[in-house]
Structure 1
Amino acid sequence: MNRPSEASSTGTAEKMRSQISLESAGRVIWKRCAAIDRKEPVIVVDSSVWIAHLRGIENAARRRLQNIEDPLEILVGDLILMEVLQGARDDRHATTIEANLRQFTIRPMLDDSLAVRAARNYRLLRERGITMRKTIDVIIGTFCIQEGHSLLHDDRDFDPMAQHLGLKIA
């Protein structure tokens, strides 16, 4: 049984830890709010990397993801979120994945002007004899180019965008 002095010091220590946690959480929330609208380049992590991560598949892109020290450097596009959630086993699994991905900044990737740019990029690649297999990859790549972000991926479909359109690879 605790003596009164031990109990009060234990209570004080717990209260201090609680305050520190709340203060730390406040700083994290403040940083997260600031990150949402920041214009500095970040790393967009493609669904190919998240899926490898979820499945425990070892590859260079997954190792790069695991080595990113600041979670504020990671951006998850809404379309990438959709792609990852489509592969969930069931609703419970999808809810867990969504909660984990929501730790990062999530941004919409497509608006009307980006749609026009993505279509132009598709045509530019087609003129060079390259046909992109998935429209969503053209959108993701164009978003990264437009915003100045790097893309972390494990999908060969992005390679022509890097080679011909200036997509930065993380």
Structure 2
Amino acid sequence: MIVADSSVWIDYFKGLPSIERDTLRELLRNSPSQLIVPDLVLFEVLRGFHHERAQRLAHAAFQALQMTGAVDPAAAERAAQRYRRLREAGITVRSSIDVLLASYCIDHDLILLQRDRDFVPFETHFGLRLLRPLH
């Protein structure tokens, strides 16, 4: 199963060119059942819309996919522990939501489609599975 980070979804909805956006488009067309939308991604994407109509269209697109909650108290503790371990290694992750999302993907053995350097330390230190488009 694959999670697309909010940065990829934002490129998708804005029509901005990126390899990751093209990969998401292929997944939506050919294997939408492989996509999971955690509530953290839903929040980050929907909060950025300036017009209600565009937000409603995006929300409808998400409704066609499998959505899930990403954080409970135990998951929050695991994410905090991973964050602290990275800090001890001299690595600071800029976004708390990225920490939670990376930890969620690690905990559930999900593949993350992203274009954000904050996720790379989670791959290196904790085995986060990152999808790297080839074209």
Do both proteins adopt the same fold according to a TM-score greater than 0.5, normalized to the shorter chain? yes
Q: Deviations over 1:93-145 (max 9, x none)?
A: 21111011111100000001100000000011111100110111000000000
The answer for the alignment partner of 2:121 in structure 1 is 160
Give the share of equivalent positions with the same residue, in percent: 40
Q: Secondary structure at the match of 2:93?
A: coil
Which of 1 and 2 has greater Rg?
A: 1
- Determine which of 137, 149, 156 is the counterpart of 2:98: 137
The answer for the alignment partner of 2:21 in structure 1 is 62
Unmatched 5+ stretches in structure 2: none
In the TM superposition, residue 90 of structure 1 has moved relative to its aligned partner by 2.1
Q: Secondary structure at the match of 1:132?
A: coil
> In the alignment, does 2:21 pair up with 1:51?
no
Mapping 1:1-170, distance limit 5 Å: 42-68=1-27, 69-170=30-131
Unmatched 5+ stretches in structure 1: 1-41
Q: Secondary structure at the match of 1:143?
A: helix
User: What RMSD in Å do the two structures reach over aligned CA positions?
Assistant: 0.9
Distance (whole Å) between structure 1 residues aligned to residue 59 and residue 24 of structure 2: 17
Q: Which TM-score applies when normalising by structure 2?
A: 0.92
Q: Secondary structure at the match of 1:67?
A: helix
Q: In the comparison of the two structures, how many residue pairs are matched?
A: 129
Distance (whole Å) between structure 2 residues aligned to residue 162 and residue 102 of structure 1: 29
